Chains A and B, each alone.
Chain A
Amino acid sequence: MIEFKGVSKTYNGKVKALDNMNFTVGDGELVGFIGPNGSGKTTTIKLLSGVLVPDNGLVKVNGFDVNKEPLKAKASIGYIADNPDVFLRLKGVEFLNFIGDVYKTPADERKKTIDELAERFEMQNALNSQILSYSHGMRQKLMVIAALMHKPKVWILDEPMTGLDPKSSFELKALMREHTKAGNSVFFSTHVLEVAEKLCDKVVIIKKGHKLYDGTLAELEKRNKDKNLEDIFLELTGKK
């Protein structure tokens, strides 16, 4: 469950990146977040993960206010940032073990998730070498494994498919679907409209910090008869 109510965010007192943004992601919902470059997606996601503090408004995850009970809120999120280049000097498994300790996941549960996901993502060999030697996609997959070890109810992912090969992105999409089927929430940003179209129950469309649309894809397509999502998106965001 994600609640985002009346949130505004300004960088350095100048750049207004988000203006009175509202949306919710319910349990069991898989929600895609789309918008042109610089529209405020990463800003929204950083506000959810506690990296940024809003100027005003309410950000709640799993019932915890991210700014009032930050540790509890953070511990209940599986977060993947837009840049997977962290702690490059650690080996893959050392990074996972660090994250496991930080989120207080018991060792046997850690091992179970790692075994399963490392196989699905073909990362078993790589886990024994330093992250420095990974390709971008491998780093991304490591972040996915790390974010899921503590079995968070809410997943928040910033462009998680970037750089993944077809098999890995298929696996990630499958994981996201399995997760919401089990009654949890997933919120992710993407530029790939087909992914949003095929995968999501709902989409949130944003432009220049303002929400343009928030609802099911079926509803959106009903409103715009005979148009595909790409046309609708381009029209909404004023590129056409």
Chain B
Amino acid sequence: MNVFLQLIKITGSSVEPSIDEKKRSQAFGVIMGFLVFTLIFIPVSGFVGYMVYALTKGVVALGGAESAAAGLSLMLHIIALFSVVFGFTVVMSVFYFSSDLNYLLPLPISPMKIVGAKLASTMISENVMECFLVFSALLGFMAGYGFDPPSGGGINAVSIIAAIFGVLTFPVVPICYCAAICLVVMYFSKFFKNKERVSKLTAFSSIVILAALVFALNLSNGFDPDAFVSQLINNDIGLLNVLDKIFFNVSLLSKAMSGSFAALLLYIIANAASVGIVLLLASKLYLKAVISLGGGEGSASSKEAVDAYSKKIKESSQLMTYFKKELKILIRTPAYMSNCMGINLIWPIFIYVFVVLQKQSNFLGDSIDKLKAGDSQTVLFATLLVFGVSVLLTSLNCIASSAVTREGRHFEVMKYLPVDIMTQLNAKALVSIVVSGAGLIVYIITAFAILGIAPSFTIYCVLLSILAVIYSTYLGIYIDTKNPKLIWEDELNALRGNYHVFYNMALELIVTAALCGASYGLFLLGFLPVFIIQSLIMLLAAFLSYEFYTVCKKKGVANIKKIEM
């Protein structure tokens, strides 16, 4: 058991900052941590809690104690789905591509123990955000249902015990699914030449599955809350019935929350059993798959080999070559591919959900008509929306806010290459600007073309979006130069263990909120025509871009020079 705890510590240790990193800017960390907490965690958890609360009230009023937990179980299903989608890449890199394997595999430790430890540390590291969400969902349910509702039933002592178990153990089943699938896929992937491709494919299919599920929710007639609640009560949502079978833990937990002791017992047994199954699979499948990783290339004749490499020898500028290097690494590293590149593809899903949700009220249709008619308030909102989405997309893919962290242990290369540090930061910025900018331009132009919005407004929005991306990029890079996390065991760790991603988002949310408030305030004052306000926003975006570029050039470069490993 001792060995096992030690292992959890080792496999999880890369998540912790080193003492040195901790010391380097503690006050900054505390302030930013607070911002992240208040701006990101609390609003999201609050939203989840409120949704469950409202749904539970509605369901109990209509359907009584029978179906009290329908709203809760819907939310838990969504949380479980997201855990699976994000869990894949985590499990894949922690199990198979983490560098601690080099030290662990030669030791006389059973594969079951290694997988057990890795499973535990994955759950712990994935659990923080999830804990908040599950906690708020359960709280929302308890508040919505109450101890003694007029319709009978109500929560009891069992519910409270179940809630504690639920918060602590909810990710177990989703992560076990990921682990089991990864173990099987990687075992059979010994037939494929390139393992990394397999793991990339797995990550991508998980995004595709998520997209498919969202579409399968079949809300094509729009979202009508009353109809939705009655569908929930009558188990009329086909997808949920399927999910109920897959995530059996959800219905057990929901029943336990409604006060069933038997369900609580079953819930605990089911969790233990899923861990047991994964460990059993691991003892059979893990070692063979992990050992066969890597491996050389087939040998071509030297003449062919020389021809092949000669074609690749071409000159480009320092900036361009550095840019290409960064881009290749982003594309070829599975963890970066899914978290930095793939993530940009989930935006159409958000848009789809939004389009569906508003169908009933035809909010979008009305707004677009107003926009086309040149209604100034709508034009202003659209402008602010473009700014906000651009900034959010850029910070969400974390290409900028992990730019230095990604260098990891070979950070010193940045120092001995005869390339100006700012040129290197610019190359890193360019990657973020090109990837985020390209995505946004495609989204904006497609959406606006479909909706038939005037070209002049489209061009304005594209320009604004590019400026927003530039500003967000340099801000992200600057934050990452402050205290990059250079010691990590696998690439995913460089992104997940890196709170800069959140810091960046938090700061940008503040700026965006301030911008929205200020421009709407100006608009309400009423003496400025909207195109002036729009121009001011554009100017401000340009100013912010220039400002953070300068901050990077002065303080960011100095920060890099200060870091010694």
Contacts and interface: CB of A to CB of B under 8 A. Distances in A.
A199 interface: no
B420 A71 contact: yes
Contacts of A128: 297, 300, 305, 308-309
Interface string A52-78: 110000000000000000111011000
A102 interface: yes
Contact of A102 (B294, B321, B564): B321
Interface string B269-298: 000000000000000000000000011110
B529 interface: no
B313 A93 contact: yes
A12 interface: yes
Interface string B380-421: 000000000000000000000000000001101101111110
Contacts of B333: 89
A210 B564 CA distance: 22
A170 interface: no
A51 B309 contact: no
A11 B565 CA distance: 9
A100 B325 contact: no
A48 to B, nearest CB: 10
Interface in A73-99: 74-75, 79, 81, 83, 85-87, 89-94, 96-98
B318 interface: yes
Given A102-B321, A133-B294, A87 B315 contact: no
Interface in A155-186: none
A93 B313 CA distance: 7
Nearest to B302: A124
A37 interface: no
Given A101-B315, A106-B315, A125 B297 contact: yes
A41 interface: no
B241 interface: no
Contact of A93 (B312, B321, B328): B312
Interface residues of B, number: 41
Contacts of B329: 87, 89-90
Interface string A87-127: 10111111011101111101100110011001100001111
A151 interface: no
B317 interface: yes
B549 interface: no
Contacts of B409: 83, 85
B306 interface: yes
Contacts of B308: 93, 127-128
Given A81-B412, A125-B305, A128-B297, A11 B564 contact: yes
Nearest to A105: B315
Contacts of B310: 111
Contact of A114 (B299, B313, B316): B313
Contact of A85 (B297, B410, B419): B410
A91 to B, nearest CB: 8
Contacts of B300: 125, 128
B302 A86 contact: no
A215 to B, nearest CB: 29
A89 B418 contact: no
A90 B328 CA distance: 7
A81 B417 CA distance: 12
B218 to A, nearest CB: 41
Interface of A: 11-12, 46, 49-53, 70-72, 74-75, 79, 81, 83, 85-87, 89-94, 96-98, 100-104, 106-107, 110-111, 114-115, 118-119, 124-130, 132-133
Interface of B: 20, 294-297, 299-300, 302, 305-306, 308-310, 312-318, 320-322, 324-325, 328-329, 332-333, 409-410, 412-413, 415-420, 561, 564
20 contacts: A49-B415, A74-B416, A81-B412, A83-B409, A87-B410, A87-B413, A90-B325, A91-B312, A96-B313, A98-B324, A100-B313, A102-B417, A107-B314, A111-B310, A118-B306, A126-B297, A127-B308, A127-B309, A128-B297, A128-B305
